[in-house]
Amino acid sequence: MKKGILLVFLLFVFGCDFGSQSAPEPLSKLQCDWPPDVEGASLQQIQESDVVDVMRSVRSFHTVHILEYADRERYNKWIDCAMYTGMMAGYRATGEQAYLDSTQAWAERLNWKLGPRFRHADDHCVGQVYLEVYRERPEAAEIKPTLSRMQQIMGNPQPGNVAWDWADALFMAPPVLARMGAVTETKPPFDFMADQFREASAPLYDPAYGLYYRDKRFLDARSENGKKVFWSRGNGWVLAGIARVLQDLPEGHSSRDWFEKRFRSMSKAVACTQQESGFWRPSLLDPQAYPQPETSGTGFFTYALAWGINSGLLSKDIYGPIVSRAWTGMVRESVNEEGRVGWVQLPGDRPASVEEGHAQPYGAGAFLLAGSQVKKLLDRGTNEPGV
């Protein structure tokens, strides 16, 4: 009895101090003037017709030339999945059947199957595209393989910080489960996804910076300039993944508040690391380490921030100019006359140098995702008051 009283007394006296050491103030180490100074950038500078035209150009080029970027055996993994998430977003934004037709044809070539690695999130990613096609053409889409794989994983799970122990995974797998919950109108996929996502986030998210480490190898890593290593595309995967989860997560779900708060915190951190060109560099806190523009991270960030404005989670007055600067930068620097999206960091797991000639399907997908939400933002009217 006395030991129990002593334990309670010690927790009362020291508990708050212990807590303050383990939970730093959110964004306390992020150096940023708020709101960011985005002088001269405005959504009113963007014409909706121009957005549709450049998206169409990118779609046309990359659907024809995708064979140049990915071996056939990789078609049901993340590289092409990311492109076709953008294709489906392009269809919903424009209503042009070519986006949906191309996506359906791609899925049919894969026989609507997931990748071969049973638990690997990269091989689950295509499931979210299949489920989106099903929503538009239920008579044509085959979603049983996706539902079966996810049900098996839910029935025999690994901890989230094991199954999804790298940042990219939070784009690849959680939206599959969220769309599964929406399509089947059942709660367990949402519950499982939310628990796994939070478990996976615990070791990777740094609240003092509002950003995710790519994986545990980077928790104490420093760039050559002594900066913490937060990879642009890695954080782009996460922020875009949260946006895609929130699109299907029911308003009354117990995890929704957590996802919305994480989305807002990350959005602020991302906004603070944008460069004057509108791009985000490969290393968010050390832009001089690789001073080239980088399109994939920039595209995913632009998509997520524009979606945040459209959904009412972010202020258009603050984030609208950031989106405008990013979109105009990508159109100016990343897309050539043929519609090829360049300045895309090649497949990897950390910041690295980029060249204009680097083009990958996931870069095109990120650009199309961004364009879909920029168009929607313009559809709503650029003169609406900020949220």
Q: What residues act catalytically?
A: 168
175 in helix, strand or coil?
helix
Name beta bridge partners: 228: 222
Query: How far is the C-alpha of 80 from the C-alpha of 114, rounded, in Å?
Result: 12
Query: How far is the C-alpha of 36 from the C-alpha of 318, rounded, in Å?
Result: 8
How many other C-beta atoms lie within 10 A of the C-beta of residue 269? Answer: 25
Name residues whose C-beta falls within 8 Å of residue 315's C-beta, 6 or more positions apart in sequence: 309, 386, 387
> Omega of the bond prior to 145 within 30 degrees of 0, cis?
no
Q: What is the CA radius of gyration of the chain?
A: 21
How many residues appear in the chain?
A: 387
Query: How far is the C-alpha of 84 from the C-alpha of 107, rounded, in Å?
Result: 10
State both tokens at 286: 């050390």
C-alpha closest to that of 266 among 296, 243, 249: 243
Query: How far is the C-alpha of 343 from the C-alpha of 68, rounded, in Å?
Result: 16
Q: Where are the alpha helices (DSSP H) in the chain?
A: 2-22, 48-65, 78-94, 97-109, 126-136, 144-155, 160-163, 169-172, 174-184, 188-204, 232-246, 256-272, 295-311, 316-333, 361-380
Q: How many CA atoms lie within 13 A of 270 on its CB side?
A: 37
Q: Where are the alpha helices (DSSP H) in 295-356?
A: 295-311, 316-333
Would you give the distance in Å from CA 153 to the centre of its chain?
A: 23
Would you give the distance in Å from CA 20 to the centre of its chain?
A: 30
* Cα 224-294-196 angle, rounded to 5 deg: 85
Query: How far is the C-alpha of 368 from the C-alpha of 56, rounded, in Å?
Result: 9
H or E stretch covering 211: strand 211-212
